[in-house]
Structure 1
Amino acid sequence: MIYNTVKTTLRQSVMLAGFRSSPAFVAAFGVLLITVIGLFTAPYIGMADNGDFFRNIYSNGLYFSQPDYDSQYFGYFVKQFGIYQYYNENGATLASSQSLFISLAIGLNKLLFSSTVFDIRFQAAIYTLLYAAAVYLLVEAITCRMTRKQGMLCALLAIFVFGDTGYTAYFNSFYSESIVLIMMLYVFAAWLLLYRKRYNDYFLLALFVISGLLLTTSKQQNAPVGIILAGLGIMLFWVRKDRIFRVMTVISLVLLFAAGIGTYLNISKEFVNINQYHAMTRGVLKDSANPETSLKSFGINEQYAILKNNIYYEQYGTVDVNSPILEQDFYSKYGFVSILKYYLANPDQFSSILDVAAQSAFSIKPAAMGNYEQSAGKEFRAQSHFFALYSLLKGILAPKTFGFILLWMALVTGLYMPSFIKALKARDSRGMQRMALIVASMAVGLSGIMVSIIGAGDADISKHEFLFTLSFDLVSVLGLSGVIGRRVSGSSEPAAGMSANMPKVQKGVSI
């Protein structure tokens, strides 16, 4: 009797432990643990300021409190800032959803730490929790119909890729890449869960649109993201026949489209000039064999060829970048569309700059910024290698040509096309969602490259292409997980009720 009771208790304990250690939980907990060790234990890992932090901190009630802060640009991570105590005369230099999270972190900081000193680790803590939840949903979407062994392998893959401190170091900074990382994972996971018919469709639709809005409005470069998600997200309209779901889907897509347009229109004149300047000096003119001829095609005085390779922020520049003369004779002569037309008319030069972009397209962590505090005793711009094997290997091994990117896109599309065609023939709208998600993710990634090179040349390009490297990782992890599950083929889906904890699964089915 006692033996049977003990045996039953042990069995229940094992089952409970199995539930708690599902692949999604293991992945989320692994990423959480690694991030906590890296960002919240000495020596603390973060990102040095490249001069962009002022855009986000002054308008949110913070200021640089260290007297030697300027000497730490690019080299050292700074974790504490001052909190304005009285009237803050600084207006917002840009509108960003990032301000919501900074304000939340400041409120938490005042409640638990100080009303005069802001510790950026409060912001990192918020990001870390949101990120762990996003990883959980992503891995749950990927593994919910796998065997436990397959699911655990996918969980380890997710930890290896998304636990990399090349990604999470952004949490200890004021770069908007933190929001891009987290919200892109939520968008991807929500759409994939809708495809899986996992959880409540209305909840997932809400998660998709809220994350998409925060992603689109996180930085001005992401304006095309809302338009892309709205365009390809129209596939979600047919997921359910409920009138209310379809109405909510249309409203969601309109909001995403409006957010994209609004983000673009809200770009301040200052940033327009900065990007325009680099688009010409570090883009069109940089690889032009005849800069004078290139300028002439835009109707610009050929003497401006002297600006080739110039940087907007140069202390002793060739010209005054804010002068009325430059505004009249230079900036007013070209824009995003005219530069795109120029590149299309000059395919060799376009191919060249695309390859330049590809050289930085797989860099998760920019080499220009250090990761340690000055007090850690590391050299200027020293980079952390703690749990950064994936970002290191990716930067070394990934082919640095745009041709590889096109080949990768063709391969991924080809792998998933059979299941999409089968779903299309069967009029299975939910079954079509995976291909829509993959195409949208690749389009979002490409927009990161195109906006970078056409809108700002090669200036700070590795950070500008963060959206591509993230999209590449999400789609690649999905594809590799399919290989692990041996279910990349176009065979039918298993029953929706099967979970990662079930010992058996139908073989040869599509994920």
Structure 2
Amino acid sequence: MAGIRSTLNIKNRMMFLSRYVSPAMLAASGILVITIIALFVPPYIGMADNGDYYRILYSNGGYFNTPDYLSHYFGYFIKEYGIFQYFNENKDMLFSSQSLFVKFSLWVNKLFDQKVFDIRVQGAIFTALYTVAMYLLVESITWKAPRKYGYPIAIIAIFIFGDTGYTAYFNSLFSESVVLIMTVFVFASGLLLYRKRYNDYVLMFIFLISGLLLTTSKQQNAPVGIIIAVMGVILVFVRKQNTYRYMMASSLILLMIAGVGTYVLIPQDFVNINKYHAMTRGILMQSDDPEAALKQFDIDKQYAVLNQTIYFEPYMTVDVDSEILKDNFYNKYGFVSILSYYVTHPSQAGKMLDIAAKNAFTIRPPAMGNYEKSAGKPFGTQTKFFSGYSLAKQALAPKTFGFITIWSVLIIGLYMPSFIEAAKRRQMRHMVRLPLIVMMIFMGLSGILVSIIGAGDADLSKHEFLFTAAFDMVTFVAVGDAIRHRLWQSEEDQGGD
């Protein structure tokens, strides 16, 4: 009798869960709870500064108020910063949508404390946005799916996207938080449009705003706006109304402009840093004859001495900010000429792509610790709390560009039949899924290509964050569609538009 009662209790609980908790709600709630425990329950988890924080903090009204702050670089997470009380003489050092979130976080913080900025205020804002974004992503896959398929998909979502490799960024001043959250919103809103879930105009707005915030979050993402605009053209035709088509076309044009504008507004200081590394940590590093490589750019062979050096090294053979280097080195090459070089030297390009692939599956950079010094952990210690996915991914993923190519071709091949079938039936909305998948793949690949062409192998694990996020989202959606038996076929007819 006890066994029967136990079985009935389990069935009753499952019926209650099935009736009142959707798979999307389960996934969002699970990720929310795990993130709260990780970020807001001692010992607090965050990201140590690698020297980049000052760019975004000082220009937005905050400053370092820890006396021995420099000694915490890379090793320890710091959660409290000062707030300027008077005139802030620091100008914007870079154009980034991240500033909007930092300023909003400071405004909220000032409601409780006018002098000390607690980074966890920003962490709470990002956590709330991430929870909503993950709800929409899981809903885009599990809507109308039988619960026996929906709940396993939700569990997978929690395992992947609740990983602290992702959420630790929320307690930091790295732009990866914005990149992650806005990428989820872009993908989820596109898929929800495909499935005709929620209002099309609301989803269009989410698609536009998240796309703009993603594109302008960091200079490296300049190509993202262009990719979204080009691959999103099909979204214009999912409805026949002229109002909708005009608004969607205008949104895509704005995204294109944002991509171009983000590139144009890159500060010259950042251009020189990236160009330096593109040559010393890219072209020269992988060349069998560095002097000959320089000759192809009409650069004096003596600059081969800079091979494998880093812009920030304290002792250099030449001042990296000097006019001599500007006239005889920086001005001799650019993004296009470096790209042309790699195209004409495929073996060297292949080496760089494989180097990039080794870092393409690392969610959390190995250089930065996650704990406060007061937690008593050794310098640079990273959390293992709910990190099963990120650790497994880093250890098991084949780290070659060949694997990335095979994965891309396989994913596109799996979704191609449903696209062709929808095209034959002239069902524009049902054709949307494959372009969205390709859009995400191209966005991820742009993160790799822009990194190695624009800055060599410098700080690759952080520069390739967009790829690792896009890889996980596309793979997750593919697994979800496979569980629902929807890989080779589109959604059933959802009515006229």
Tell me the TM-score normalized by structure 2: 0.96
Shift of 1:347: 0.5
Q: What is aligned with 1:67?
A: 67
CA distance in 2, matches of 1:316, 1:20: 64
> Aligned AA for 1:228?
I
> Aligned AA for 2:88?
N
Q: What is aligned with 1:179?
A: 178
Q: What is aligned with 1:322?
A: 321
Structure 2: stretches of 5+ with no match in the other structure = 1-10
CA distance in 2, matches of 1:459, 1:17: 48
CA distance in 1, matches of 2:338, 2:351: 15
Q: What is aligned with 1:387?
A: 386
Q: What is aligned with 1:269?
A: 268
Q: What is aligned with 1:23?
A: 23
CA distance in 2, matches of 1:252, 1:364: 31
Residue correspondence of structure 1 range 239-250 to structure 2 within 5 A = 239-250=238-249
Q: What is aligned with 1:149?
A: 148
Shift of 1:486: 2.5
CA contact (8 A) 1:145 1:494 kept: no
Q: What is aligned with 2:101?
A: 101
User: Residues 138, 326 of structure 1: CA spacing in aligned structure 2 closer, same or farther, 3 A cutoff?
Assistant: same
CA distance in 1, matches of 2:106, 2:444: 32
CA distance in 1, matches of 2:404, 2:492: 32
CA distance in 2, matches of 1:273, 1:19: 58
Shift of 1:212: 0.1
CA contact (8 A) 1:277 1:312 kept: yes
> Aligned AA for 2:111?
L
CA contact (8 A) 2:47 2:172 kept: yes
> Aligned AA for 1:133?
V
Shift of 1:12: 12
Residue correspondence of structure 1 range 417-428 to structure 2 within 5 A = 417-428=416-427
Shift of 1:316: 1.1
> Aligned AA for 2:472?
D
Residue correspondence of structure 1 range 395-414 to structure 2 within 5 A = 395-414=394-413
Q: Deviations over 1:230-269 (max 9, x none)?
A: 0111111100001100010111011100000000000000
CA contact (8 A) 2:74 2:380 kept: yes
CA distance in 1, matches of 2:310, 2:152: 46
- Cα RMSD over matched residues? 1.4
Shift of 1:411: 0.5
CA distance in 2, matches of 1:493, 1:119: 46
Shift of 1:18: 3.5
Shift of 1:16: 7.1
Q: What is aligned with 1:258?
A: 257
Q: Deviations over 1:294-349 (max 9, x none)?
A: 00000000000000000001111221100000000000000000000000110000
Residue correspondence of structure 1 range 218-297 to structure 2 within 5 A = 218-297=217-296
Shift of 1:495: 5.5
Q: What is aligned with 1:505?
A: none
> Aligned AA for 1:62?
G
> Aligned AA for 2:66?
Q
Shift of 1:149: 1.2
Q: What is aligned with 2:463?
A: 464
Percent identity, aligned pairs only, is 60
Q: What is aligned with 2:4?
A: none
Residue correspondence of structure 1 range 320-359 to structure 2 within 5 A = 320-359=319-358
CA contact (8 A) 2:18 2:147 kept: no
CA distance in 2, matches of 1:305, 1:357: 23
> Aligned AA for 2:161?
F
CA distance in 2, matches of 1:486, 1:17: 23
CA contact (8 A) 1:63 1:81 kept: yes
Q: Deviations over 1:30-53 (max 9, x none)?
A: 000000000001111100000000
> Aligned AA for 1:59?
S
Q: Deviations over 1:392-432 (max 9, x none)?
A: 00001100100000000010011000000011111111011
Structure 1 outlier segments of 4+, above 3 Å: 11-20, 494-497
User: Residues 66, 144 of structure 1: CA spacing in aligned structure 2 closer, same or farther, 3 A cutoff?
Assistant: same
CA distance in 2, matches of 1:290, 1:13: 69
Q: Quick check: 1:445 aligned with 2:453?
A: no
Q: What is aligned with 1:87?
A: 87
Q: What is aligned with 1:506?
A: none
> Aligned AA for 2:487?
V
Shift of 1:13: 11
CA distance in 1, matches of 2:203, 2:16: 27
When the two structures are aligned, how many residues end up with a matched partner? Answer: 485
Q: Quick check: 1:479 aligned with 2:485?
A: no
CA contact (8 A) 2:416 2:488 kept: no
CA distance in 1, matches of 2:317, 2:361: 33
Q: Deviations over 1:91-145 (max 9, x none)?
A: 0000111111111111111112x10000000000000000000000000001013
Structure 1: stretches of 5+ with no match in the other structure = 1-10, 498-511
CA contact (8 A) 2:195 2:491 kept: no
Tell me the TM-score normalized by structure 1: 0.93
CA distance in 1, matches of 2:346, 2:97: 37
Q: What is aligned with 2:188?
A: 189
CA contact (8 A) 2:164 2:387 kept: yes
